[in-house]
């Protein structure tokens, strides 16, 4: 459906003039939802971006980008880029639109929102996530607009809240090791992460450690390309990480591989945790995890006796019912052995909590002025768009404004999400670069600028640098920044607070205020936060007690288990369910969530939507590689090609995501099968807690 242009596109009609042939480099930041937050250099000639490459001066980037973003010009100048506002002319979902002017579109949108707000602004729902991680084109002006309006609040849970909450209850926040010191570790446990695909710059550090003699262990139900390159792979069943972590503790206790001094001084709840762990013999966990008990014993010995030892935890392990508890259990392991004492020891899930972001200034929740709108969980958008008004729910959702997200492709139980967005009485605005699955259901589609065309400022969840993104080229066509859209809507709604006049550079400055040297960002493009090399060597965790909380008083007060435990999946393989296979749907290497499937050269590498299935499960079903299969459960059916592969373990099938529905064989993707059930902590999604059956089609 897209033309693939190998040649560089011609200059855009509105780009700023530059002396012919005089190329310049513009410093920026990768906007994608990836822990690496690379520093970009864009080569611009005659107002046209001709190359995007990694900034060699930025240490975490080290001059290297992933394949996706090194092809960024192909995405930005894609012939199907949305370049003018569009108004729906066909039925919802048909994708039929006609161009309209910005004024006409904005007038119509503002009139409709005003009309709804006059009854109850909570009937309006913003829906956004991390299409861009930029703090400005993310939730700055948009936050101000929806707060002032009194719209429903969105619980932005679709990725990381279970693990984030687990970490917060244990360590006090999304804090951990500084990523660069993984290079000095002697044992690296890569847990729930396909680093080569999704955290490439960490993988480079792990490789450096390996060259210096470190042992690499991977814990993942899928035999990923990362697992292939580690010394050891624990190929456990999805959603069993909590059991594994407790059994590791069991072995640390019985072999006394414990740092008693660190535990005594810097932890809370040791006696309770010790007792809990004693119930988790390696044999018990091995049965649940579906791996040999000896593998658990060996890993415990490695963890208990290697210094320095570090865990790179990632979000892949927390998209199951017990994800929050599993993250809690794993986060206890470094304190038990005193791994935090060394700068190359400890754990990193996310570094985002270490950034002093001034969200209150950016998003201005004070504009709610005492109102307390209801909160809608983005994971349950499928159900929530169908709900009638009620005392409990509040008003029926009458309008959704989508930006930086593609809910039809990324949210669970898509059939319901589609039904919701297909409602004739729902008013939908989508601000996008492309006509995504979601945009097909919009009443108005507004063309957004890409990272090459706007200012932004970035924190990171994989390192500890702040990055500034300067626009490299002028907006293409009639594309507007997200901030410009919300400024213009605010003006039409009559919101006259001065904050609606802040321009994007002012917003960039406000993001960190005086806490980051903005002049340095302007001069160099990035600035490193000042954080001790081994932040928890002597405790000092940002928890209420200042210690690593094996036992969380805060959870106990909510009536929850104060200690971490193993919580089995909602949908348990081997249970009495008629659906015998567990399906996981982790990221594809050449896509970034639902971004890039429409970029031809990257799609060609990924090929087509595939379901990996192991030989014995395939044989039992008469399935061969390349044949079309029906993957189904009570929520729906999804057709794709099978790939018989040892990347899948027995009982588990892998459907790499996140394809656009309209690029699938039958106009669906894996999320046709996933459920809207939630995690134990953080109200997150359970994408990898999903039973299915597979048949040859």
Ligand X SMILES: Nc1nc2c(c(=O)[nH]1)N[C@H]1C(S)=C(S)[C@@H](COP(=O)(O)OP(=O)(O)OC[C@H]3O[C@@H](n4cnc5c(=O)[nH]c(N)nc54)[C@H](O)[C@@H]3O)O[C@H]1N2
Residues that bind ligand X (CB under 6 A): 31, 33-35, 129-132, 137, 158-160, 191-194, 197-198, 219-222, 224, 238-239, 241, 314-317, 320, 403-406, 410, 431-434, 436, 448, 482, 584-587, 589, 591-595, 657-658, 670-671, 674, 687-688
Q: Do 328 and 172 contact (CB within 8 A), yes or no?
A: no
Among 41, 48, 69, 613, binds ligand SF4 (CB under 6 A): 69
Q: Where are the beta strands (DSSP E) in 177-321?
A: 187-191, 215-219, 232-234, 267-268, 309-313
Q: Could you tell me the smallest distance in angstroms from the CB atom of residue 433 to ligand X?
A: 4
Cross-strand pairs, 128: 403
With CA atoms as reference, report the closest residue to 475 among 205, 82, 8, 117.
82
Q: In what helix (H) or strand (E) does residue 587 lie, and over which residues does it extend?
A: none
161 binds, among Mo ion, ligand SF4, ligand X, none (CB under 5 to 8 A by kind): none
In contact, 625 and 642? CB cutoff 8 Å: yes
Q: Which partner from the list ligand SF4, Mo ion, ligand X, none does 587 bind, CB cut-off 5 to 8 Å by kind? A: ligand X
List, in order, residues 6 or more apart from 111 with CB less than 8 Å away: none
Q: Decide if 649 contacts 235 (C-beta within 8 A).
A: yes
- Taking contact as CB under 6 A, which single stretch among the options 31-39, 520-528, 534-542, 558-566 is the one that binds ligand SF4? 31-39
For 537, list phi and psi in degrees, rounded to 5. -60, -35
Partner interacting with residue 594 (select from ligand SF4, ligand X, Mo ion, none; CB below 5-8 Å by kind): ligand X
Q: 204 or 570: whose CB is closer to ligand SF4?
A: 204
Q: State in angstroms the smallest separation of the CB of 357 from Mo ion.
A: 18
- Rounded CA gap, 28 and 454, in Å? 10
Nearer to ligand X by Cβ, of 80 and 104: the residue is 80
Nearer of residues 27 and 342 to ligand SF4, judged by Cβ: 27
Stretch that binds ligand SF4, among 64-72, 73-81, 471-479, 641-649 (CB under 6 A): 64-72
Smaller CB separation from ligand X, 219 or 618: 219
d(CA 423, CA 366): 33
Contact 27, 39 (CB under 8 A): yes
Q: What is the contact mask toward ligand SF4 in residues 570 to 609, using x (rule: CB under 6 A)?
A: ----------------------x-----------------
Task: State yes or no: residue 68 binds ligand SF4 (CB under 6 A).
Answer: yes
With respect to ligand SF4, which residue has the nearer C-beta, 72 or 427?
A: 72
Q: Residue 55 or 633: which CB sits closer to ligand SF4?
A: 55
Which one of ligand SF4, ligand X, Mo ion, none is in contact with 448 (Cβ closer than 5 to 8 A by kind)? ligand X
Distance of alpha carbon 126 from alpha carbon 143, whole angstroms:
9
- Short-list 647, 608, 646, CA closest to 629: 608
Distance CA 142, CA 121 (A): 15
Q: Which is nearer to ligand X, 214 or 584 (CB)?
A: 584
H/E element, 424 = none
| Binds 37: which of Mo ion, ligand X, ligand SF4, none (CB < 5-8 Å by kind) | ligand SF4
| Interface pattern 196-235 for ligand SF4 (x via CB under 6 A) | ----x-----------------------------------
Q: Which of 15, 26, 28, 34 binds ligand SF4 (CB under 6 A)?
A: 34
Q: Which two tokens stand for residue 441?
A: 């259901």
Q: Which of Mo ion, ligand SF4, ligand X, none sits in contact with 238, Cβ below 5 to 8 A by type? A: ligand X
Residues in binding contact with ligand SF4, number by CB under 6 A: 12
Which residues of the chain form contacts with Mo ion (CB under 5 A)? 159
What interhelical angle do 241-254 and 293-305 show, nearest 10?
60
- Of 15, 28, 38, 487, the one binding ligand SF4 (CB under 6 A) is 38
464 makes contact, choosing from Mo ion, ligand SF4, ligand X, none, with CB < 5 to 8 Å by partner type, with none
Are 226 and 190 contacting, i.e. CB atoms less than 8 angstroms apart?
Answer: yes
196 vs 499, beta carbon nearer ligand X: 196
- Enter the DSSP assignment of 678: B
Task: Please enumerate, as own/partner, the contacts of 58-64 that have beta carbons within 8 Å and a separation of 24 or more.
Answer: 58/465, 58/467, 58/525, 58/526, 59/180, 60/36, 60/179, 60/180, 60/201, 60/460, 60/462, 60/463, 60/465, 61/36, 61/201, 62/201, 62/204, 64/38, 64/200, 64/201, 64/204
Instruction: Look at residue 38 and give the partner it binds from ligand X, ligand SF4, Mo ion, none, a contact being a CB closer than 5 to 8 Å depending on partner kind.
Output: ligand SF4
Q: Which residues bind ligand SF4 (CB under 6 A)?
A: 30, 32, 34, 36-38, 65-66, 68-69, 200, 592
């Amino acid at each position: 459906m897209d033309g693939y242009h190998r040649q560089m596109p011609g200059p855009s009609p509105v780009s700023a003039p530059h002396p012919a042939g005089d190329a310049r480099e513009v410093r920026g930041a990768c906007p994608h939802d990836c822990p690496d937050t690379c520093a970009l250099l864009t080569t611009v000639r005659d107002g046209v971006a001709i190359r995007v490459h990694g900034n060699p001066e930025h240490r975490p980037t080290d001059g290297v980008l992933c394949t996706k973003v090194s092809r960024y010009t192909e995405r930005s100048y894609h012939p199907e880029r949305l370049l003018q506002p569009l108004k729906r002319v066909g039925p919802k979902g048909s994708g039929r639109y006609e161009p309209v002017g910005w004024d006409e579109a904005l007038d119509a949108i503002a009139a409709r929102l005003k009309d709804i707000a006059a009854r109850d602004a909570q009937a309006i729902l913003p829906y956004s996530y991390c299409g861009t991680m930029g703090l400005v084109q993310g939730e700055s002006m948009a936050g101000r607009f929806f707060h002032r309006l009194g719209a429903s609040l969105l619980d932005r849970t679709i990725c990381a809240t279970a693990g984030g909450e687990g970490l917060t209850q244990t360590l006090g926040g999304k804090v951990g090791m500084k990523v660069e010191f993984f290079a000095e570790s002697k044992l690296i446990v890569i847990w729930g992460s396909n680093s080569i695909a999704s955290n490439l710059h960490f993988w480079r550090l792990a490789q450096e450690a390996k060259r210096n003699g470190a042992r690499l262990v991977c814990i993942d139900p899928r035999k990923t390309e990362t697992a292939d390159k580690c010394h050891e792979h624990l190929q456990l069943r999805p959603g069993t990480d909590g059991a594994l972590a407790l059994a590791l503790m069991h072995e640390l206790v019985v072999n006394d591989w414990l740092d008693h001094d660190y535990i005594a001084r810097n932890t809370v709840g040791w006696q309770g945790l010790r007792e809990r762990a004693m119930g988790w013999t390696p044999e018990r966990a091995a049965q649940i995890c579906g791996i040999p008990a000896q593998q658990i014993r060996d890993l415990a010995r490695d963890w208990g006796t290697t210094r320095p030892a570090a865990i790179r935890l990632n979000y892949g392990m927390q998209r199951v019912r017990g994800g929050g508890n599993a993250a809690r259990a794993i986060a206890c392991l470094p304190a038990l052995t005193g791994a935090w004492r060394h700068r190359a020891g400890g754990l990193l899930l996310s570094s985002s909590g270490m950034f002093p972001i001034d969200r209150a200034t950016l998003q201005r929740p004070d504009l709610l002025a005492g109102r307390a709108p209801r909160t809608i969980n983005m994971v349950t958008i499928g159900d929530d768009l169908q709900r009638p008004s009620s005392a409990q729910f509040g008003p029926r959702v009458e309008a959704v404004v989508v930006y930086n997200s593609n809910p039809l492709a990324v949210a669970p139980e898509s059939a319901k999400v589609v039904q919701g967005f297909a409602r004739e009485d729902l008013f939908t605005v989508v601000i996008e670069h492309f006509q995504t699955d979601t945009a097909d259901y919009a009443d108005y589609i507004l063309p957004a600028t890409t990272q090459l065309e706007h200012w932004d400022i970035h924190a990171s969840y994989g390192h500890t640098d702040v990055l500034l993104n300067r626009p490299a080229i002028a907006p293409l066509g009639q594309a507007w920044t997200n901030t410009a859209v919300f400024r213009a809507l605010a003006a039409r709604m009559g919101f006259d607070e001065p904050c609606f006049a802040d321009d994007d550079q002012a917003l960039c400055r406000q993001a960190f205020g005086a806490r980051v040297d903005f002049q340095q960002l302007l001069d160099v493009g990035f600035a490193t936060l000042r954080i001790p090399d081994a932040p928890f060597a002597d405790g000092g965790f940002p928890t209420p007690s200042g210690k690593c909380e094996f036992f969380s008083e805060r959870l106990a007060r909510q009536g929850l288990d104060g200690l971490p435990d193993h919580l089995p999946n909602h949908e348990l393989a081997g249970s009495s369910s008629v659906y015998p296979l567990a399906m996981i749907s982790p990221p594809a290497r050449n896509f970034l969530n639902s971004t890039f499937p429409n970029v031809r050269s990257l799609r060609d590498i990924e090929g087509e939507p595939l379901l990996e299935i192991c030989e014995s499960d395939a044989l039992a079903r008469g399935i061969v590689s390349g044949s079309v299969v029906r993957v189904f459960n009570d929520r729906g059916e999804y057709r794709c090609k099978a790939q018989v592969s040892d990347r899948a373990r027995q009982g588990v099938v892998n459907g790499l995501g996140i394809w656009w529905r309209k690029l699938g064989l039958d106009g669906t993707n894996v999320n046709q099968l996933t459920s809207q059930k939630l995690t134990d902590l953080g109200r997150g999604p359970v994408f990898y807690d999903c039973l299915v059956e597979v048949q040859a089609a």
